[in-house]
Structure 1
Amino acid sequence: MAQRWLTDDQQRVWRNYLTLGNRLQVAMNRQLQSRCGLSLSDYEVLVELSERGPIRVLELAAALGWEQSRVSHQLRRMRDRDLLDRRGSEQDRRGATVAITAAGSDALATAAPDHVDLIRSVLFDDIPPAQLRGFEQVISTALDRLGE
């Protein structure tokens, strides 16, 4: 079976995509850390909790696409900083539920405006609607191919 390599155009797009992802992660982490002492992981957890309300740890892991061990360590660090509260589940003693605290809500409210400004300035400012739709189609197609 012959090896099927990326074309030069595909290779360029792929590498630019990887570079964008890496640089954007670094920029988001730096901004969150310097402006409000949160990591990007903290921010992602706080967003999920603010949107969903109290949630079981396993459901949070699935929503974030993280391994259980990563979620457990992240939640412990955030609980130690009073950003969230973790309690045993009333429905299932094997499970636990996490919820955002007032301090977590305050941290998210502080972080969100600058975070949105960064994303907007990097990805969306001055992008014509047709390019935005094309960008969305590429992302949606790739996510569909990866499945749940």
Structure 2
Amino acid sequence: MSLVSDHTDPSAPVRWLDADEQQAWRGIIRGTRHLIARIDSDLKPLGLSGEDYALLVALAEADDGRLRMAELAETSAQSRSRLSHHVGRLEKRGLVVRESCQEDRRGQWAMLTPEGQDLLASAAPHHVAGVREHLIDHLTREELVMLGRVFGRLNTVEPDCT
């Protein structure tokens, strides 16, 4: 395994993180992991993970409650292979179905089923309460806006990192 990424010139000196950068980086990692674990824990009694919920929301918000699998992979920041397995698990539970794309025989649509819509509708208030409890209520409006801007910018830096 190489310690050099394709984003680094191997002849360039390493730009180590200073104390503030290291503290910020580690805080982001720990905070994100804890937040995801709490959201997953909140959704577990409903039979969902945070990623399940995010996929159902993406489909619910899409035109006709469906997205091409490639679009869903991009939206959910998952590789196509990982997404295919994930959608397969949701499909076995009757929450999502896949359909061949008539315009492109190689493509597939992922579609929310009525059961998926019902589960999402019952999970949404619970999920929103958890997001408020674990994140929103701990931030000022200014911090929340700044956090949204920072992560919004980071989402555009490397859009195809899956």
Residues in 1 aligned to 2:55 and 2:156: alpha-carbon distance in whole angstroms:
24
Give SS of 1:86's match.
Answer: strand
**What is the Cα deviation at residue 126 of structure 1?**
5.2
1:141 Cα deviation (Å)? 3.4
Which consecutive segments of 4 or more residues in structure 1 shift more than 4 A? none
1:14: how far off? 1.0
- Aligned-pair identity (%): 34
**Unpaired stretches in structure 2, ≥5 consecutive residues:** 1-11
The alpha carbon displacement at 1:130 in A equals 2.5
Q: Which residue of 2 aligns with 1:48?
A: 58
In the alignment, which residue of structure 2 is the partner of 1:20?
31
Aligned position for 1:127: 139
Q: What are the superposed Cα offsets for residues 49-103 of structure 1, whole Å, 9 maximum, x if unpaired?
A: 1000222112211221211111111111111110011111122222211210111
The gaps in structure 1 that reach 5 residues or longer are none
In 2, Cα distance between the equivalents of 1:56 and 1:3? 41
C-alpha separation in 2, matches of 1:38 and 1:130: 31
Name the residue aligned to 2:105: 93
**2:78 aligned with 1:66, yes or no?**
yes
Q: CA distance change for structure 1 residues 20 and 69 in 2, over 3 Å: closer, same or farther?
A: same
Per-residue Cα deviation, 1:1-43 (whole angstroms, up to 9, x for no partner)? 4432111111111111100111111111111112x11122211
Of the three residues 86, 93, 107, the one matched with 2:119 is: 107
TM-score by length of 2: 0.81
**TM-score of the pair, normalised by structure 1:** 0.88
Aligned CA distance change for structure 1 residues 2 and 119 (closer, same or farther; 3 Å): same
More helix by share: 1
| Counterpart position of 2:41 | 30
Aligned equivalents of 2:101 and 2:159: distance in 1?
Answer: 29
2 CA distance for matches of 1:93 and 1:2? 49
Deviation at 1:147, TM superposition (A): 4.7
- Going from structure 1 to structure 2, the CA distance change for 1:54 and 1:131 (only over 3 Å counts) comes to closer
